Amino acid sequence: MRLAAFALALAFVCGAASTARALDCDNVTHPFVAVLCSDPDLKRAADERQAAWDQTWQRLNEEQRAQLKQDELAWIRSYPVLCGISADQMPALPVPSVNKDCMLRAGEMRTAYIRAYGLPAGGAAPAPAPAPDTSANPSYAQGVADWQALYAWFTTLSGARRAGADYWAGNRSNPGHESCAEAADNYADTPQAAEAFEAGCNDAKSRLDSIDVRRADPQYRAGFNDEAKQLPIPAPPPPPRALTARLTINNHSCRNITEVKIDDVPQNNGIGPGDSGRFLMDDRCTHTVHGTSGIDTWNSAIQCKNDSPYENFTITWVATNHPPVENSLGNESLIVERISNNDLGQVQITSKTDCLAIERIDANRGNCKTNEPELPQVLKFGQTLTISYFCEKLLEFKITTDQGVGVFTFDR
C-alpha cells in the first residue's frame, strides 16, 4: 500500500491528540478501515488501540514519538495484507472469520505493544524488547511488524489448515519440496482434510513469498528475526483424540433423555424412552457421562479395565425421583396372566399404557423365587415381559413400576 493511500488512516492511529477518539467510519475509502468499521469487535479493538496510543504518546519524548510513529507506519502497512485484506481493493463485507480473527488478534497484540512501549523492565506494563532506532532503520521496523502480523495469523489456525501452513513455513526453503497439492494428498485421508491442508499451505505461501523477498534487506531480516525470537509462534494444539471406544446407554425409564454429554462434550442425539443410544468415545481410559431428561439428571463415571481403552462400555439409566404408590396400578394399566409352560410356571405382563418401566417383581411377598431379565425393563403399549417363577403355588404378584405399584392375586 503506498504511503499516500493510508495517510488518512494514519491520522486516526498516529494522531498526537491528548484524548482518545473513536474510529471514524464515515466516508471510508481504505480497505482495512472498511473492515474495522464493518465488525463491532474489530471496531472496539481499534478504539482501544487508539486510547492506548494517546496514553503512551503523552509520556514519550520527541525522539521516542518519532520512533513509535515510524514503527506504527510499518505495522499498518503490514498487518492487513498479512491477514488477507487487499491493500487497494475494497473487500466484500463481512470478511471471512479467518481474516477477522487474524486482524483482531493482531490488533490486540499491537495494543499491548503500544501500552508497553518505552517502559522500563518491571514497569506498569511488560516492556517490549529494546526499541530499535526505527527512524533511522524503517526496514527493521517493517520486519518487526511483519512478524507480528504473521504471528497473529498463525494463531488463528488449527487442524489441517494449520498443518498446511506449518508445512509451507517449514519446507519452502528445501530444494525439491512438494507442492501444497502434493503435500495435501500425502497428509490427509479425507477430501475435507486435504482441502483444508492445501488452503492453509497456499495462504502461508501467499504471505511468506513477499516476506522472503524483503528478507534480502539485512535490516528487515534483523527486525523480522529479532521479533521472532521475542514472540515465537506457539505449537498448534494437539489434534482431537481418536474415537475408538463405543458406549451404549440404555434408557430404562419412560422419559426422553434430551441431553447427553461425554467428557463435557455435547452429543447430537438423545435417547428415547426405553431405547438405547450408541456413542463413540476417545481413547482415554476414564470418562464422565452426563444425561438429563429435564426431570432426572444422570452422572456416571466409567473406567476401562486393564488399561485397555478400546473396549465397549454399557450404562443403564433409570428414573429414581418418583414415589411408589401402593395399589395404584390396576387392570387399566396392565394385563397380568399366569400361564403354564410344561412344568415351568410363568407370568406374562403386558402394558396397556404408552410406556411403563417395570422396576421390581415380588412373588408371594418374596417367598417365591423368580427369574426375570435385568430390571428395570421398559414396556411400550402392547409389549410383554415374561417372568418365570419357582414355587408350588403362586398366590400374589406385586409389580412396582415408575407409575405406581400393583398387587395381582390368583385363585388358590
Domain boundary assignment for the chain: 3-230, 243-317, 334-409
pLDDT per residue as tens digits for the range 71-90: 888 888 777 877 888 777 88
Higher-confidence residue of 5 and 234: namely 234
pLDDT per residue as tens digits for the range 379-394: 999 999 999 998 888 9
The pLDDT, as a whole number, for residue 121 is 56
With cell 528478507, the residue in question is 215
Q: Using H for helix, E for strand and C for coil, what is the string for 215-232?
A: CCCHHHHHHHHHHHHHCC
Going by pLDDT thresholds of 50, 70 and 90, the confidence category of residue 321 is low
Separation between Cα atoms, residue 162 and residue 370, nearest integer Å: 62
pLDDT per residue as tens digits for the range 262-309: 988 888 888 999 899 988 888 778 889 999 987 888 999 988 877 666
Q: List all residues 6 or more positions away from 358 whose beta carbon is below 8 Å from its beta carbon.
A: 349, 375, 376, 377, 378, 379, 385, 399, 400, 401
Q: Is the pLDDT of residue 171 over 70?
A: yes
Top-confidence range, 82-86, 227-231, 328-332 = 227-231
For 257, the 3-state DSSP assignment is: strand
The pLDDT, as a whole number, for residue 5 is 36
| Burial (CB count <10 Å: 0-12, 13-18, 19+), residue 372 | middle
- For the chain, give the mean pLDDT: 81
- Overall CATH class of domain 243-317: mainly beta
The pLDDT, as a whole number, for residue 10 is 47
Q: Is the pLDDT of residue 2 over 60?
A: no
The pLDDT, as a whole number, for residue 384 is 94
> Residues 146-169: what's their mean pLDDT?
88
pLDDT per residue as tens digits for the range 335-357: 999 887 766 788 999 999 988 88
pLDDT per residue as tens digits for the range 85-106: 877 788 888 888 878 888 888 8
Q: List all residues 6 or more positions away from 311 whose beta carbon is below 8 Å from its beta carbon.
A: 245, 304, 305
The pLDDT, as a whole number, for residue 96 is 83
